[in-house]
């Protein structure tokens, strides 16, 4: 097997997740509160194994739990933008979206003491204006799109999508995309959610999720040169005891597989410097 990198990312949504769903009664709010309870457990686990990570924190969480957020920064982890109250930017007009981005850029910058480098859109959705706003704010990368799995790429703008013509791909921008996937997110696997017209069943065994993820890493190491995989956690989900034990076992497996861990900003910087992450080099296609 070859070498590869895994990036652990944590969306510390806390109460903002439930605000964005207009679920403001005590029980859903308390589910968000549990996220703050779980953060020290996660930080301790990462510290024990000396693993760097990237956290995406809504502005509402920064203002509601400032001490917990400062603990994340003090532990040496990167913090990126994640909306103010976990709002889907698709529901905002351009002015509202720009004002929201400027507000959270200042909050995260004040928290970290340096300008933030990255963004993850709540609900993983962008508007036609989002890329321009991120570039204007001097961001290095985004982590919201799903166009690859083991390779960063440059974000496009100006795509033309119609129902009766081929896609007109827009221009590449200097903004690096560090792609995500619903299959690499703990929320749909593990979290139960009942909505008026649907149910997200969740509550699967953590070991099943981590076996899937282990195999994603094993495939990357076998058939890709220097691949990078981004996984997404939520403290209010992964922070339950049996899930924390599953996370511990999975991290130990990855260490035995020889993978490296990095923050997203580190990967984006190296990609911009010319590092070729995730070149497809299938085992069965190699000369023997």
Specify whether the CB–CB gap between 141 and 265 falls below 8 A: yes
> What's the CATH architecture for 4-160+169-278?
Alpha-Beta Barrel (3.20)
138-196 tens-digit pLDDT = 999 999 999 999 999 999 999 999 999 999 999 999 999 999 999 999 999 999 999 88
Specify whether the CB–CB gap between 169 and 159 falls below 8 A: yes
209 pLDDT more than 90 = yes
262 vs 268: CA distance, rounded Å = 10
157 vs 173: CA distance, rounded Å = 7
- Model confidence band, residue 3 (pLDDT cutoffs 50, 70, 90): confident
Q: What is the model's pTM?
A: 0.96
pLDDT value of residue 288: 47
Return the residue matching tokens 């580190």.
266
What does residue 280 show for φ and ψ, rounded to 5 degrees?
-75, 120
pLDDT value of residue 283: 85
- Model confidence band, residue 1 (pLDDT cutoffs 50, 70, 90): low
104-124 tens-digit pLDDT = 999 999 999 999 999 999 999
Contacts from 97-106 at CB under 8 Å and sequence distance 24+?
Answer: 97/127, 97/129, 97/130, 97/133, 98/129, 98/133, 101/133, 101/134, 101/137, 102/137, 103/59, 104/58, 104/59, 105/81, 105/137
Containing 175, the helix (H) or strand (E) segment is strand 171-177
- DSSP one-letter string for 240-279: SHHHHHHHHHHHHHHHHHT-EE--HHHHHHHHHTT--TTE
Give the Cβ contact number of residue 245 at 10 Å.
12
Handedness of CA 121, 261, 220, 224 (dihedral sign): positive
Q: Average pLDDT, stretch 58-74?
A: 98
Handedness of CA 89, 92, 94, 100 (dihedral sign): negative
What radius of gyration do the chain's Cα atoms show? 19
246-277 tens-digit pLDDT = 999 999 999 999 999 999 999 999 999 999 99
Structure tokens at 76: 């040496």
Question: What are the domain boundaries of the chain?
Answer: 4-160+169-278
């Amino acid at each position: 097997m070859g070498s590869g990198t895994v990036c652990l990312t944590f969306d510390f949504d806390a109460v903002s997740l439930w605000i964005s769903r207009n679920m403001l009664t005590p029980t859903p709010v308390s589910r968000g509160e549990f996220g703050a309870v779980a953060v020290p457990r996660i930080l301790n686990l990462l510290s024990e194994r000396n693993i760097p990570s990237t956290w995406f924190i809504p502005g509402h969480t920064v203002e509601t739990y400032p001490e917990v957020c400062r603990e994340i920064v003090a532990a040496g982890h990167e913090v990126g933008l994640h909306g103010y109250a976990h709002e889907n930017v698709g529901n905002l007009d351009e002015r509202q979206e720009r004002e929201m981005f400027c507000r959270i850029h200042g909050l995260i910058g004040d928290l970290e003491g340096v300008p933030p480098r990255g963004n993850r859109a709540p609900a993983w959705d962008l508007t036609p204006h989002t890329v321009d706003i991120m570039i204007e704010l001097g961001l290095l990368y985004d982590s919201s799109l799903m166009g690859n799995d083991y390779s960063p790429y440059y974000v496009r703008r100006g795509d033309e999508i119609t129902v009766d013509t081929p896609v007109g791909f827009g221009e590449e921008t200097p903004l690096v995309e560090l792609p995500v996937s619903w299959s690499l997110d703990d929320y749909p696997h593990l979290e139960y959610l009942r909505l008026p017209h649907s149910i997200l069943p969740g509550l699967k065994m953590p070991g099943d999720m981590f076996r899937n993820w282990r195999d994603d890493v094993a495939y990357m190491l076998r058939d890709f040169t220097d691949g990078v995989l981004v996984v997404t956690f939520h403290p209010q989900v992964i922070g339950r005891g049996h899930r924390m034990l599953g996370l511990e076992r999975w991290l130990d497996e990855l260490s035995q597989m020889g993978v490296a861990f990095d923050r997203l900003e580190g990967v984006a910087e190296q990609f911009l410097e010319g590092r070729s992450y995730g070149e497809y080099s299938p085992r069965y296609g190699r000369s023997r």
